[in-house]
Amino acid sequence: MNDSVCADLLLELEAVTCGYDPTRPVVRGLSMRVAKGEMVGLLGSSGCGKTTVLRAIAGFHPVVSGQITLGGVTLSKSGFSLPPEKRRVGMVFQDYALFPHLNVEQNVAYGLKGAAKELIRTTTREMLELVGLESMARRHPHELSGGQQQRVALARALAPRPELILLDEPFSNLDVDLRERLGLEVRQILISQGMTGILVTHDQREAFAWGDRVGVVHEGTLRQWGTPYELYHQPADLFVAGFIGQGTFLSGTCEGVDRVRTAAGVLQGRPGGYTARVGDAVRVLIRPDDVQEEEGSPIVTRVVRRAFQGASTLYTLELDSGCQLQSLFPSHVDHAVGDRVAIRVAPDHLVLFANPNPGLVYECRPSTLD
The pLDDT tens digits of the residues spanning 62-83 come to: 999 999 999 999 999 999 999 9
For 223-238, the pLDDT digits (tens) are 999 999 999 988 999 8
Amino acid identity for residue 70 in this structure: L
35 and 213 Cβ atoms separated by less than 8 Å: no
pLDDT-based confidence at residue 36 (cuts at 50, 70, 90)? very high
The confidence score (pLDDT) of residue 187 equals 95
- Using the predicted structure, report yes or no on whether residue 2 has a pLDDT greater than 90: no
**Residue 155: phi, psi to the nearest 5?**
-60, -40
Cα(121)–Cα(225) distance, integer angstroms: 41
pLDDT-based confidence at residue 368 (cuts at 50, 70, 90)? very low
pLDDT-based confidence at residue 130 (cuts at 50, 70, 90)? very high
Cα(287)–Cα(283) distance, integer angstroms: 13
The confidence score (pLDDT) of residue 4 equals 44
Please give the average per-residue pLDDT across 297-317, as a whole number: 96
Please give the average per-residue pLDDT across 210-221, as a whole number: 96
Amino acid identity for residue 365 in this structure: R
327 and 247 Cβ atoms separated by less than 8 Å: no
pLDDT-based confidence at residue 21 (cuts at 50, 70, 90)? confident
Give the DSSP letter of residue 365. P
- Using the predicted structure, report yes or no on whether residue 357 has a pLDDT greater than 80: no
- Using the predicted structure, report yes or no on whether residue 3 has a pLDDT greater than 50: no
Strand partners, 312: 330
